[in-house]
């Protein structure tokens, strides 16, 4: 975090924030049913859907997490050992009290000359073998509560225009 953002104390603050989140939410709680969600027909009559209403209409049929903490960790190219340290810390500290989301979706921003000079490792996607090694490391520790990404999740089509389009 210090290298890329100048926030050398980021990890220390995150550790304390996570402890408090886990204290407040308790262990993960899932439900198998989507209770109280709007039906498709009534929602389609609305000219504007809130983010919550849109998400509530999602077709996902699996269980929903009602409370608990999911820590999303974005693995960066050239930082495999840092990712392993983060995974180890999270598992040894919180065990099954949290879920890990180990993400491989880092997408390099095209034509950033300042990054090319300062951080050349960020000009490429995370190598698949590095991601697999991080996931295997998590499994070797005993991590069971985790979300793992499959396939090519790092595509330039996922990069927003950053031109304020769609904001009011």
Please tell me whether residue 97 adopts helix, strand or coil conformation.
helix
**Backbone phi and psi for residue 102, each to the nearest 5 degrees, phi listed first:** -95, 110
- Cα–Cα distances (Å) from 162 to 70, 109, 131, 158, 165, in that order, read 27, 12, 28, 12, 8
- Cα–Cα distances (Å) from 157 to 66, 121, 150, in that order, read 31, 21, 17
Cα 94 from chain centroid (whole Å) = 17
Distance, CA of 79 to CA of 130 (rounded, Å): 9
Whether the pLDDT of residue 136 is over 50: the answer is yes
* Per-residue pLDDT, 120: 84
* Per-residue pLDDT, 34: 55
What's the whole-number mean pLDDT along residues 37-57?
Answer: 57
Distance, CA of 150 to CA of 105 (rounded, Å): 10
156, exposed or middle or buried, with CB in 10 Å at 0-12, 13-18, 19+? exposed
**44's tokens:** 């389609």
Is the separation of the CB atoms in 65 and 23 below 8 Å?
no
Place of tokens 């697999």: 132
* Per-residue pLDDT, 36: 47
Distance, CA of 71 to CA of 65 (rounded, Å): 13
Report DSSP state, residue 154: -
* Per-residue pLDDT, 129: 96
More confident residue, 105 or 47: 105
């Amino acid at each position: 975090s210090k290298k890329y953002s100048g926030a050398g104390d980021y990890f220390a603050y995150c550790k304390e924030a996570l402890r408090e989140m886990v204290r407040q939410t308790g262990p993960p709680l899932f439900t198998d049913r989507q209770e109280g969600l709007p039906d498709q027909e009534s929602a389609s009559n609305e000219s504007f859907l809130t983010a919550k209403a849109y998400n509530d209409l999602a077709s996902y049929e699996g269980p929903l997490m009602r409370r608990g903490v999911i820590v999303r960790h974005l693995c960066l190219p050239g930082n495999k050992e840092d990712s392993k340290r983060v995974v180890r810390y999270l598992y040894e500290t919180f065990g099954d009290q949290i879920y890990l989301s180990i993400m491989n979706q880092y997408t390099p921003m095209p034509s950033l000359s300042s990054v090319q000079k300062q951080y050349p490792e960020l000009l490429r996607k995370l190598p698949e073998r590095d991601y697999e090694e991080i996931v295997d490391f998590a499994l070797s520790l005993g991590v069971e509560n985790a979300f793992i990404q499959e396939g090519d999740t790092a595509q330039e089509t996922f990069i927003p225009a950053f031109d304020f389009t769609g904001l009011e």
